[in-house]
Copies of this chain bind each other. A is one copy, B any other.
Amino acid sequence: MLHVIGLGLGDATDITVKGLEIIRMSDRVYLESYTSILSIDLKDLERFYGCSILEADRELVENNADEILPKDEKENVAFLVVGDPFGATTHSDLILRARAKNIKVKVIHNCSILTAIGCSGLQLYRFGETVSIPYWSIDWQPNSFYDKIISNRRRDLHTLCLLDIKIKEPTIESISKKKREYMPTRFMSVSEAVTQLLKIMEEKMEENKEEMVLLNKSSLAIGLARIGWDNQRIVACSLEKMASTDLGPPLHSLIIPATNLHPLESEFMSLYMYE
Contact = CB atoms under 8 A, between A and B. Distances in A.
A14 interface: yes
A115 B96 contact: no
A109 interface: yes
Given A151-B155, A264-B89, A264-B96, A124 B128 contact: no
A17 interface: yes
Contact of A124 (B14, B114, B116, B124): B114
A42 to B, nearest CB: 18
A73 interface: no
Interface residues of A, number: 53
A44 to B, nearest CB: 14
A157 interface: yes
Interface string A116-157: 101101011111111110000000000000000001000101
Contact of A112 (B14, B111, B155, B267): B111
A78 to B, nearest CB: 15
Contact of A109 (B8, B11, B268): B8
A11 B121 CA distance: 27
Nearest to A22: B13
Contacts of A13: 16-18, 21
Contacts of A18: 10-11, 13-14
Interface string A181-224: 00000000000000000000000000000000000000000000
Nearest to A17: B13
A6 B157 CA distance: 25
Interface in A1-44: 6, 8-18, 20-21
Given A99-B271, A157-B129, A85 B16 contact: no
A87 interface: yes
Contacts of A17: 12-17, 20
A46 interface: no
Given A8-B109, A99-B271, A124-B130, 19 more contacts: A13-B18, A14-B16, A14-B17, A14-B109, A15-B17, A16-B17, A17-B17, A84-B111, A84-B118, A87-B118, A87-B124, A92-B123, A96-B267, A111-B111, A125-B130, A125-B131, A126-B129, A128-B129, A129-B155
Interface of A: 6, 8-18, 20-21, 84-87, 89, 92-93, 96, 99, 107, 109-112, 114-116, 118-119, 121, 123-132, 151, 155, 157, 162, 228, 264, 267-268, 271
